[in-house]
Chains A and B, each alone.
Chain A
């Protein structure tokens, strides 16, 4: 088990800088999920930790030892790849035992460890098969098994579930969660899927354009996003943003409004804010309630309804032409064009600066 520290880590490919000064600390046994859109540098960062990419600048420490110039095999890591990367010409047993065979571990120990891994991953009956005879989920188990037997200090997962279909992905996600509980090892997991991030992580690191946008526990990030990027990236459907003007300020509250929004008071915390300044109001779709038009803080008409069974996603066109999305926690049938009002608790909204899209008001828990 291990602590990992990334200090001011940079990575450039030629003149293109893809990682721009990343600082992350991972505690012993912590499950950290690095999440971000495609091309944000998250896989590159993981490969740098693995030793598959050089670190251009900055340091990587595992258990207090600088690992910058160490070979992948000397870092005490094991990695699970998106494409599984199991060797097609070897049986499952040979695949799982590969690292042990290479490191000349005796056969008895090897068999013991492989059997143990197979038991944990429930694949005892697959050991003599070849990868071409396995399904996607089974192959991913083999890849995880290969990681387990080496008893690494750190497990690295590079989008391990992206190639699986939806139901299998959920099963494997739960399996990985259980695996973390039983092994209690430090794990770093890269994904673009925010559901995986929210469900698996002790700590989420949101990465965008090679920089850390915010890191913290899943609920911290969900409830107190540091900026509009984090706010919109976490949570599905994405957060709604509405431009507003600051009308009034006192110690407790900030009053904001716009032509389609009746003035509302949101809690005032954080940075300085001045009267008449522009701001952006963030509304989570789940916190919006449908009401009669006369009772709505926001009014508009329904343009699209998606019925998901337990939940209904409603897209509403506001009077100023902006669209907002509401997620209603029951099945509702709404005809297109219907006039509708939206209510929400002002304490559950987020306020961002319209200059640098950073967080302006703190959410009350």
Chain B
């Protein structure tokens, strides 16, 4: 950015910029604030407050009663735990597997590489709904050797929610594009120094891939945390149920006694917090990695 010619003008522009940013921030924060505040209020007050600014303020009869009630209806804690387990394991495995295959597509020469990459790109256009039933048929017959011995069929497990989503075309594509943009001389310099390909991946490429790791992690996290259709199909037992299916289950408990909005807001607050926390963490990591690896020309 060039230096401002007129300091007054510069100050005015700065103020305008911050006012605009603040307004946008408030617009985005409103629903979240409303959700959290409402979750702390009894239904009667909650509905009365919606006609005024009180809806966004912690005023009146504030308590955690809604949370207690929500817990008594369904095991929210278990649902959040299930989702976090499935999501985090998938994200970690996905980053590893997709970055390795991206590395191979970007740097190694092997027969059929370009054809296979085209096929992987082509998987973008297949909607999940079209392959859900075939996937159900396959996973219901897959064998498994675990601590409790040999078994057939993956339904009602964590692994059926994790394994099919580890590798995906978009994540591999992200890694390939990023790796191709890294200066090839870094890889060549490392090769001349005597590294193996594994060492190049581990010591050179991955430490320089903070931005793409963060991007891929956020995208995968959101997809996995919001999983609904697939766990609906493959998980019937409460033990393995994730939050989004749990939400549907939670709604069903209201059919007889009317809807308790405060409890719904409490449930939604509990399932939103992990996403926000992860997003904020990754955002910090993202900025740190860009600062650490920034290559000046």
Residues of A within 8 A of B (CB): 50-52, 71-73, 77-79, 81-89, 98-99, 102-103, 131-132, 143, 146, 150
Do the beta carbons of B208 and A89 come within 8 Å of each other? yes
Q: Mark B245-269, 1 if CB is under 8 A from A, else 0.
A: 0000000000000000000000000
Quick check: is B199 within 8 A (CB to CB) of the other chain? yes
Do the beta carbons of B186 and A73 come within 8 Å of each other? no
Enumerate 29 A-B pairs (CB-CB under 8 Å) in ascending A order. A50-B192, A51-B191, A51-B192, A52-B191, A52-B192, A72-B191, A72-B194, A73-B191, A78-B192, A79-B188, A79-B189, A81-B185, A81-B188, A81-B189, A82-B185, A83-B185, A85-B183, A86-B189, A87-B208, A88-B293, A89-B292, A98-B193, A99-B193, A102-B193, A102-B195, A102-B199, A103-B194, A143-B189, A146-B189
A131 to B203, CA, bound (A): 16
* A71 partner residues in chain B, CB cutoff 8 A: 191
Do the beta carbons of A146 and B296 come within 8 Å of each other? no
Quick check: is B207 within 8 A (CB to CB) of the other chain? yes
Do the beta carbons of A132 and B185 come within 8 Å of each other? no
Quick check: is B135 within 8 A (CB to CB) of the other chain? no
Interface size range on B against A = 20 to 34
Q: A85-B185, A85-B188, A88-B208 are in contact. Are A73 and B295 (CB under 8 A)?
A: no
* Best-surrounded residue of A83, A84, A143 (most CB of chain B within 10 A): A83
* B192 partner residues in chain A, CB cutoff 8 A: 50-52, 72-73, 77-79
Q: Which of B186, B194, B199, B207 contacts A85 (CB 8 A)?
A: B186
Quick check: is B146 within 8 A (CB to CB) of the other chain? no
Besides the known contacts A50-B192, A73-B191, A81-B188, 17 further A-B residue pairs in the complex with CB atoms under 8 A apart = A52-B188, A52-B192, A72-B191, A72-B192, A79-B188, A79-B192, A85-B183, A85-B185, A87-B186, A87-B189, A88-B208, A89-B292, A89-B293, A99-B194, A102-B193, A102-B194, A132-B296
A150 to B207, CA, bound (A): 24
* A150 partner residues in chain B, CB cutoff 8 A: 193
Q: Which of A73, A81, A87 contacts B194 (CB 8 A)?
A: A73
* A51 partner residues in chain B, CB cutoff 8 A: 191-192
A67 to B294, CA, bound (A): 37
A52 to B236, CA, bound (A): 56
A77 to B191, CA, bound (A): 11
Q: Which of B170-229 contact A (CB under 8 A)?
A: 183, 185-186, 188-195, 199, 203-204, 207-208
A137 to B215, CA, bound (A): 34
Q: Which of B183, B190, B294 contacts A83 (CB 8 A)?
A: B183
- Shortest beta-carbon distance from A230 to chain B in Å: 30
* Best-surrounded residue of B186, B191, B193 (most CB of chain A within 10 A): B193
* B190 partner residues in chain A, CB cutoff 8 A: 87, 98
Nearest residue (CB) in A for B193 is A99
- Shortest beta-carbon distance from B107 to chain A in Å: 12
- Shortest beta-carbon distance from A107 to chain B in Å: 17
A88 to B193, CA, bound (A): 16
A80 to B152, CA, bound (A): 57
A207 to B130, CA, bound (A): 59
A83 to B185, CA, bound (A): 7
* A98 partner residues in chain B, CB cutoff 8 A: 190, 193
* Best-surrounded residue of B185, B190, B296 (most CB of chain A within 10 A): B185
* A79 partner residues in chain B, CB cutoff 8 A: 188-189, 192
Do the beta carbons of A89 and B207 come within 8 Å of each other? yes
Nearest residue (CB) in A for B199 is A102
Q: Which of B224-246 contact A (CB under 8 A)?
A: none
- Shortest beta-carbon distance from B148 to chain A in Å: 43
A71 to B200, CA, bound (A): 15
Do the beta carbons of A146 and B294 come within 8 Å of each other? no
Do the beta carbons of B295 and A132 come within 8 Å of each other? yes
* A81 partner residues in chain B, CB cutoff 8 A: 185, 188-189
* B185 partner residues in chain A, CB cutoff 8 A: 81-85
A163 to B121, CA, bound (A): 37
Q: Which of B195, B199, B203, B294 contacts A132 (CB 8 A)?
A: B294
* B188 partner residues in chain A, CB cutoff 8 A: 50, 52, 79, 81, 85
A50 to B191, CA, bound (A): 10
Q: Mark B285-297, 1 if CB is under 8 A from A, else 0.
A: 0000000111110
* A78 partner residues in chain B, CB cutoff 8 A: 192
Do the beta carbons of A88 and B189 come within 8 Å of each other? no
A131 to B192, CA, bound (A): 20
- Shortest beta-carbon distance from A227 to chain B in Å: 34
* A83 partner residues in chain B, CB cutoff 8 A: 183, 185
- Shortest beta-carbon distance from A141 to chain B in Å: 15
Do the beta carbons of B194 and A88 come within 8 Å of each other? no
The 8 A-B pairs of least Cβ separation, nearest first, read: A73-B194, A85-B185, A99-B193, A85-B189, A89-B207, A81-B185, A72-B192, A79-B192
Do the beta carbons of B195 and A88 come within 8 Å of each other? no
